[in-house]
Structure 1
Amino acid sequence: MPKPIRLYCQVIDRIADWIGVIAMYLIFLMVGILLLDAITRNVIDIPLHWCIEAAQFTLAAYYFMGGAKTMKDGDHVRMDLLYDRLSERGKHKMDIVTLSCLMFYLVVLMIGSISSLEYAIQTNEHRFSMWNPSMIPIKSLMVGCIFLMIAQTVSEFFKHIAALRGEVWS
């Protein structure tokens, strides 16, 4: 595999790892927010209206940010009925096919998310609730994380091509 492609894969893998670690800690933030909500609502009888929505936004950020690392580590859900019976070459070929389908899906998702972000910016979109938070931050994060998923998909594609060519990936 040419050195620039290998470097690309290494950089994208490191970014995915870094973003994945940040995502991992968002669970603790979400638990803290929900605990704060439970205490203020049930113990001191002062409900904080922003807690549930903040927890929802944190969960959305968690799964947006965790996608690339999940793919990189192979921890995603796969239909193993046929996949486990394939040879190593067959698995790489199947992964190339599924990555191609995933790439199509991600590009369509990216187009839609950019459109949604543009709308949020143009209209200063807010969620209709008592807290009334802006939608721009979460939609910006969504666009960035979909871009990272596309970059990780390309990286995985290169790794499977290299494996089919008999190259060892370190």
Structure 2
Amino acid sequence: MPDWARSYVKFVEALNFRIGRFAMYLLFVMMAILIWSSITKIIRVPAIWTLEMAQFTLVAYYLLGAPYTFLLNTNVRMDLVYARLRPRTQAWWDVFTVFALLFYLGVMLYGAIGSTAYSFETWERNPTGWRPYLWPIKVVICVSFFLMILQAIAHLIRDVAVIRGEEI
């Protein structure tokens, strides 16, 4: 494989590894928010921001963790047949299916960018009592789709290397 391909794979995987490790801790942030929500309800002074903030944190946790799970190959697969294939045949199948994934992620990113741009233009807010701005979570969604596309391309490069009998 060319040096640029190796460098790309190493860079993207290191980036997604670090972001994924950060995203793991968002679960604890969400738990703290929900504990705070419970405490404020017990003392009869409920905070109006806790439910939405927990939801936003969960979205960030889930979407920023997706490239990390793809990197570690721990994503859920229906591998009744796939697991029995040789690594080279698996790589061929992955090369075939990654284009469907890239198309899907491209469409999702396109929609997310449009929604985020609208959110910035109109200073969109959630129609609840707290009324938080929506652009921060929409930016996180765009970043996560972009990182997933980068990881899918890195996965494609790794599969091509396996097909060629090379290591990255």
TM-score normalized by structure 2? 0.98
How many residue pairs align between the two structures? 168
Distance 2:75 2:95 in 1: 15
Q: What's the counterpart of residue 77 of structure 2? A: 78
Q: CA deviation at 1:64?
A: 1.2
Q: What's the counterpart of residue 26 of structure 1? A: 26
The alignment partner of 1:81 has SS state of coil
Q: What's the counterpart of residue 63 of structure 2? A: 64
Q: What's the counterpart of residue 51 of structure 1? A: 50
Q: Which 4+ runs in 1 deviate beyond 2 A?
A: none
Distance 2:118 2:69 in 1: 30
Counterpart amino acid of residue 151 in structure 2: Q
Q: What's the counterpart of residue 96 of structure 2? A: 97
Gaps of 5+ in 2: none
Please state if 1:140 is matched with 2:139: yes
Q: CA deviation at 1:89?
A: 1.3
Identity of aligned residues (%): 39
Distance 2:72 2:119 in 1: 33
Q: CA deviation at 1:159?
A: 0.3
Q: CA deviation at 1:145?
A: 1.1
Per-residue Cα deviation, 1:122-141 (whole angstroms, up to 9, x for no partner): 11100000010000000011
Shifted more, 33-42 versus 85-94: the winner is: 85-94
RMSD: 0.7
Q: What's the counterpart of residue 11 of structure 2? A: 11
Per-residue Cα deviation, 1:73-121 (whole angstroms, up to 9, x for no partner): 0010111111112111111111112211100000000110011001101
Distance 1:144 1:168 in 2: 29
Counterpart amino acid of residue 67 in structure 1: A
Distance 2:97 2:41 in 1: 47
